[in-house]
Amino acid sequence: MVLHLYDTATRSAREFHPARSGTASIYVCGATVQGVPHIGHVRGALNYDILRRWLVHSGLDVRLVRNVTDIDDKILAKAEAAGRPWWEWAATHERAFESAYDSLGCLPPSISPRATGHVTQMIELMRRLIDSGHAYASEGDVYFSVKSFDGYGELSGQKLDEVQQGESLGEGKHDPRDFTLWKRAKPGEPSWPTPWGEGRPGWHLECSAMATSYFGPEFDIHGGGVDLVFPHHENERAQSNAAGDPFARFWLHNAWVTMSGEKMSKSLGNTVSIPEMLLNYRAPELRYYLIQPHYRSTIEYSDGALSEAAVGYQRVEQFLRRAGQSGAVEIGTVPGEFAAALDDDLATPQAFAVLHNTVREGNTALDAADTPKALELAATVRAMVDVLGLDPLSAHWSDAGGSEAPVRQALDGLVKGLLTERQQARAAKDFARADAARDRLTEAGIVVEDTPNGPQWTVRDV
């Protein structure tokens, strides 16, 4: 089966064939480094990490560029409020994002270009647009003329008469629908020289310049969150195509992580930061939670769902470690059903179903003392979790993610003590004491499930 990916531009799942034989190119809109990363930020990075791993598994050399927006109104405002230099504020939070990506098992990008390092390329792109009549300079600003580009709105489905860019009108705009390529300098703000005056880049200009700097005028996949379809990606596409670049052949968009039905965002105050999450859950458990749903499906955050995901990861982990007691567990071959799921627009829910069916078969083989069958199935499981970036036996997780999160570790010790007391009471047929131990756990919000591998516990969603 050939990989099919859902392309936002055509609103259809299309066969993926790279523009250059043997090599796949992916540009992902990365972070605007204004603050500490939360789980909504890293979901997209994890989704495109799965895509990258699957393409590599399929035999392609993958080059992934994930940019950093290190100059922006919010960065400037937050740095000023904190009394810190803007560049220090951006660099501090860039490191926080890189740490979060690494903690959750994302392969490092081929390069993480910063917007401030590509002003020369931005100037060249603006010159091409001005020379071709698609952009104009006015009072130190530079704008893209939306009505000059016939295909404007095709990516997002926006009607030209209804376009609202979400930016200030601007004194020199010819049309309120036009968007800013370059912002003229304001007193006290960082700026760079251009033929049209001192200033700093507009958000949309950055990504077009950086993507083509590394991939040339055409590349395979442009990825980002669904909230970027308009105006960011619509404007990227318009300015790049207007300049004569074919630009992205596929546009992929991952859905949000929401809380109480609202997109997670710092402005709404409903974020859950990665450092906070990793106090309560191990990194591979959080990764499992964020990649198990289909990348185009919204995740409504709840602690209960995250706890269930943690248990799901632990089932895989326990099976592989149990199998490893019988012999070395190698990495085998992914089963056809798993491959078919990922080839179908990265259908991770179906891929995880295949994974857990195999784990169940493996545990049955271990229970029956069928060691050769169990090790064969364990090798198949390792092949699948290797593609998913969840292999508990990998160096990354055994070195960095194998230990319990601090709060979880402390709670686990207390819970296991009560579970041991309950098991001993049941063995002695002291059912009153066993029930009392379980009641104490229930009152504390702990849900216990008796499984063939012993009791498993999660924190009840309240």
List, for residues 5-15, the tens digit of each pLDDT value: 999 999 999 99
pLDDT at position 151 over 90: yes
Tell me the C-alpha distance between 245 and 381, whole Å: 43
Q: What is the pLDDT of residues 348-403, one digit of tens each?
A: 999 999 999 999 999 999 999 999 999 999 999 999 999 999 999 999 987 544 44
Report the pLDDT value the prediction gives residue 402, as an integer from 0 to 100.
45
Lowest-confidence region among 193-202, 291-300, 438-447: 438-447
Q: What phi and psi, each to the nearest 5 degrees, are found at residue 365?
A: -65, -40
Query: Averaged over 429-438, what is the pLDDT?
Result: 85
CB 102 within 8 A of CB 401: no
Q: Provide the whole-model pTM.
A: 0.86
pLDDT at position 281 over 60: yes
Query: Averaged over 125-137, what is the pLDDT?
Result: 98
Report the pLDDT value the prediction gives residue 140, as an integer from 0 to 100.
92
Tokens of 94: 């860039």
Report the pLDDT value the prediction gives residue 459, as an integer from 0 to 100.
59
Q: Can you say how many angstroms the Cα of residue 94 is from the centroid of all Cα atoms in its chain? A: 15
Query: Averaged over 296-301, what is the pLDDT?
Result: 95
Report the pLDDT value the prediction gives residue 217, as an integer from 0 to 100.
98
Calculate the average pLDDT of the chain.
91
What domains can be seen in the chain, in order of their start residue?
4-259 (3.40.50.620), 302-401 (1.20.120.640), 406-459 (no CATH)
Query: Averaged over 239-256, what is the pLDDT?
Result: 98
Q: What is the pLDDT of residues 159-191, one digit of tens each?
A: 999 999 988 777 789 999 999 999 999 999 999
Q: What is the pLDDT of residues 179-226, one digit of tens each?
A: 999 999 999 999 999 999 999 999 999 999 999 999 999 999 999 999
Q: What is the pLDDT of residues 36-55, one digit of tens each?
A: 999 989 999 999 999 999 99
Report the pLDDT value the prediction gives residue 91, as an integer from 0 to 100.
97
